[in-house]
Structure 1
Amino acid sequence: MEGDIAAMGQFIGAGLACIGMGGAGIGVGHVAGNFLAGALRNPAAAGEQTATLFIGIAFAEALGIFSFLVALLLMFAV
């Protein structure tokens, strides 16, 4: 009985950690949407901001990957 409760806690914690992956998806959409809005307002400056776009997307995705790793650790840690 005690092992079942511990396993349940692991899976609940892993599910809560996966919320960060959804947050990363929202963050990437926010970064890309703001870049597109700015590029449509000033197309001449869009080329200079492309590197910033990719850096922002990389940071947002890194947070999603970190939350995925936390979820895996919670599920498979002994």
Structure 2
Amino acid sequence: MNTTLQSAKMIGAGLATIGLTGVGAGVGIVFGSLVVAFSRNPMLKQQLFGYTILGFALTEAVALFALMMAFLILFS
């Protein structure tokens, strides 16, 4: 395989994984917001936890898309 193409694939895959940095920050924000909201109103524990899990799942979906893009770039 052409070395230029191989190095372009590596750079593209590296750039695709930059999205994982934002996901890490997003997950921290989601769970940090849960702690703040729970400390303000402990009676809403179940409802807050449900919203937190939904936010976590949507944030992690972005990570899976970024990882999928990186693998598609590398192995196609």
TM tier, smaller: over 0.9
- Provide the TM-score with structure 2 as the length reference: 0.93
Q: Does 1:16 align with 2:15?
A: yes
1:47 to partner: Cα distance: 2.0
Which residue does the alignment assign to 1:57? Answer: 56
CA offsets per residue over residues 20-78 of structure 1, 9 Å max, x none?
1121111111111011111111111222221110000000001001100000000111x
Q: How many residues align?
A: 76
- Provide the TM-score with structure 1 as the length reference: 0.90
Runs of at least 4 residues off by over 3 Å? none
Structure 2 gap segments, 5+ residues each:
none
Structure 1 gap segments, 5+ residues each:
none
Which residue does the alignment assign to 2:37? Answer: 38
Q: Which amino acid aligns with 2:55?
A: G
Query: Percent identity over the alignment?
Result: 34
RMSD: 1.2
Which residue does the alignment assign to 1:4? Answer: 3
SS of alignment partner, residue 47 of structure 2: coil
